[in-house]
């Protein structure tokens, strides 16, 4: 069921989203060659808990299910995916190198409400990356912003999808199709799904109070993917570079509001 959130409920999601944005800013500041992905995850969890939030990925099994003791539960507070890893990369002892693509996905629960956001960085700053990496990262960011701009009352989910796809295709990039955006609220994943590509259905009509996580994932090469043996990390099958951006937004009478911002 697709729900519309009240102003009071959106205010709680705005608080969750602010923590997400603070974590992503903290990670950007800390993203230097030699730091490990586990170090970044610890920084993130420390900040989330100090802000009275809960990491929404830690112990996640899917749907509304959490069980940190389950062998298949997600074991970290963030997803950190490198280079050809698209999403759901598990933080560990890998140390980052200058020029490496680093996609960071952060989820936070605050007072029962979720915020979800992601950014792709280049370790050492944009200038450290190759022209191919820089262009991929910037185009993925622009595709997200185009999708957000289309998320207005009276438009449909398909308008968001088309806006993202147009930017991706203009840049010559593949679009990951197995993983899409979603509704969000008291659960991290709610209806409706928000594809990053056109489909046969135009989708639901947007109205004030709809809250969505829009998250394009673009690749330089093939759109085919694999999941690694850890049962979480999604990679490009041809090992080409990938990037991922995400914001949680609320549809309002005057246009989309980005909730995952400081």
- Please tell me the predicted confidence (pLDDT) of residue 64: 72
In the block, tokens 């603070």 appear at: 22
Burial of 187 by CB count in 10 Å (0-12 exposed, 13-18 middle, 19+ buried)? Answer: middle
- CA-based torsion, 201, 206, 209, 210: positive or negative: positive
What number is the average pLDDT over the span 22-43? 97
Four-CA torsion 129, 133, 135, 138, nearest 10 degrees: -90
Token pair, residue 144, equals 């997200």
> For 182-220, how does the pLDDT look when each residue is reduced to its tens digit (9 = 90+)?
999 999 999 999 999 999 889 999 999 999 999 999 999
H/E stretch holding 182: strand 181-183
Domains along the sequence of the chain with CATH: 7-258 (3.90.230.10)
- Provide the mean pLDDT of the chain: 96
- Please tell me the predicted confidence (pLDDT) of residue 68: 80
The proportion of the chain whose per-residue pLDDT surpasses 70, expressed as a percent, equals 100
Of 1-10, 59-68, 184-193, 245-254, where does mean pLDDT reach its minimum? 59-68
Radius of gyration of the chain (CA): 17
- Please tell me the predicted confidence (pLDDT) of residue 29: 96
> Taking each helix axis from N to C terminus, what angle separates 131-149 and 157-171, rounded to the nearest 10 degrees?
160
- Please tell me the predicted confidence (pLDDT) of residue 91: 98
Q: How confident is the model at residue 174 (pLDDT cuts 50, 70, 90)?
A: very high
> For 230-245, how does the pLDDT look when each residue is reduced to its tens digit (9 = 90+)?
999 999 999 999 999 9
User: In the chain, what's the furthest Cα-to-Cα distance?
Assistant: 48
- Whether residue 55 is predicted with pLDDT greater than 90 in this model: the reply is yes
- Please tell me the predicted confidence (pLDDT) of residue 63: 74
What number is the average pLDDT over the span 150-162? 98
- The phi and psi torsions of 148 (rounded to 5 degrees) equal -65, -45
């Amino acid at each position: 069921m697709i729900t519309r959130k009240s102003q009071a409920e959106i205010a709680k999601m705005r608080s969750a989203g602010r923590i997400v944005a603070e974590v992503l800013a903290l990670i950007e500041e800390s993203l230097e060659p030699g730091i490990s992905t586990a170090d970044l995850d610890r920084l993130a969890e420390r900040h989330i808990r100090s802000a009275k939030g809960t990491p929404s990925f830690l112990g996640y099994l899917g749907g509304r299910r959490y069980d940190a003791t389950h062998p298949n539960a997600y074991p970290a507070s963030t997803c950190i995916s490198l280079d050809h890893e698209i999403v759901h990369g598990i933080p560990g002892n890998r140390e980052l190198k200058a020029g490496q693509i680093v996609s960071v996905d952060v989820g936070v629960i605050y007072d029962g409400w979720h915020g979800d956001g992601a950014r792709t960085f280049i370790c050492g700053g944009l200038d450290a990356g190759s022209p191919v990496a820089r262009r991929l990262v910037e185009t993925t960011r622009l595709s997200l912003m185009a999708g957000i701009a289309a998320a207005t009352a009276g438009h449909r989910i398909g308008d968001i999808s088309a806006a993202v796809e147009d930017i991706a295709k203009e840049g010559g990039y593949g679009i990951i199709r197995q993983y899409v955006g979603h509704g969000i609220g008291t659960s991290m994943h709610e209806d409706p799904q928000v594809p990053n590509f056109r489909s046969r259905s135009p989708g639901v009509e947007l109205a004030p109070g709809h809250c969505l996580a829009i998250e394009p994932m673009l690749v330089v090469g093939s759109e085919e993917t694999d999941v690694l043996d850890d049962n979480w990390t999604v990679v490009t099958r041809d090992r080409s570079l990938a990037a991922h951006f995400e914001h949680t937004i609320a549809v309002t009478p005057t246009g989309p509001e980005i909730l995952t911002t400081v």
